């Protein structure tokens, strides 16, 4: 009888000891995921803006299926700016690149090209994203005064709204540095100077 009782006690002890060991192992394997800091989140948002603008640049060029038309378009590298970010809680500072503008030059005659509407939809999407990310944005059209006069284009500006209701200024201005029959389209985001998070 004593042997049976002793065996039962040992068996129960082994069971409870085993359960404790499993629980300990489970506790040890818990991995804590670090929460991104405000600075890291802000930097990632700005990187996504740059990637979107770069994709817009590529998509605008790709929209013109006709190789002859595409050969007449030039797309400048993205204009970027360095901004200093400061994290209030930690005092950490970091310099981050942010999107400033995208500039494209193309013949006015391409407005008659069926691919022009598709290409301009890419420009519109970028301007809308920048307006909703930064508060406002601009689409600027530049052309020679003589071309504007010939096509009866007025140098003026107007404001439209983004999907979230933020302003997008659309303007037409003179640029005497352009070649005859060419226009420049510039998408500008609201500037960022210095940020405290």
Q: Could you tell me the residue ranges of all domains in the chain?
A: 38-196
CA–CA distance, 60 with 194 (Å, rounded to integer): 31
Looking at residue 66, its pLDDT comes to: 77
Phi, psi of 169 (to 5 degrees): -85, 125
Asked if residue 21 has pLDDT above 80, the reply is: no
CA distance to 44, 45, 77, 102, 157, per residue, from 114 (Å): 36, 34, 26, 23, 25
Least confident of 10-24, 122-136, 164-178: 10-24
Total residues found in the chain within this entry: 197
Share of the chain above pLDDT 90, in %: 50
Exposed e or buried b per residue across 92-106, where buried means at least 16 C-beta atoms within 10 angstroms of its C-beta: eeeebebbbbbbbbb
Asked if residue 197 has pLDDT above 70, the reply is: no
Looking at residue 6, its pLDDT comes to: 45
For residues 61 and 91, which has the higher predicted lDDT (pLDDT)? 61
Tokens standing for 47?
Answer: 């990187």
Asked if residue 26 has pLDDT above 60, the reply is: no
- pTM equals 0.77
68-81 per-position pLDDT tens digit: 777 889 999 999 99
Least confident of 104-108, 134-138, 192-196: 192-196
108-160 per-position pLDDT tens digit: 988 888 889 999 999 999 999 999 999 999 999 999 999 988 887 888 899 99
Looking at residue 91, its pLDDT comes to: 76
Mean confidence (pLDDT) of the chain: 83
Least confident of 20-24, 42-46, 107-111, 175-179: 20-24
Looking at residue 192, its pLDDT comes to: 85
Least confident of 20-24, 61-65, 170-174, 182-186: 20-24
């Amino acid at each position: 009888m004593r042997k049976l009782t002793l065996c039962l006690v040992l068996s129960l002890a082994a069971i409870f000891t085993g359960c404790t060991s499993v629980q300990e192992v489970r506790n040890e394997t818990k991995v804590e995921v670090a929460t991104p800091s405000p600075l890291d989140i802000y930097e990632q948002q700005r990187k996504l803006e740059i990637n979107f603008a770069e994709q817009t640049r590529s998509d605008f060029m790709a929209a013109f299926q006709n190789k002859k038309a595409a050969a007449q378009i030039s797309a400048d590298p993205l204009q970027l700016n360095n901004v200093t970010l400061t994290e209030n809680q930690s005092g950490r500072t970091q310099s981050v690149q942010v999107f400033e503008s995208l500039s494209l030059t193309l013949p006015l005659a391409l407005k008659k090209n069926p691919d022009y509407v598709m290409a301009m939809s890419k420009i519109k999407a970028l301007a809308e994203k920048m307006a909703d990310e930064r508060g406002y944005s601009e689409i600027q059209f530049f052309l020679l005064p003589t071309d504007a006069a010939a096509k009866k284009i007025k140098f003026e500006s107007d404001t439209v709204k983004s999907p979230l209701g933020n302003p997008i200024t659309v303007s037409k201005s003179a640029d005497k540095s352009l070649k005859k029959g060419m226009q420049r389209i510039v998408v500008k985001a609201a500037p960022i100077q210095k940020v405290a998070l």
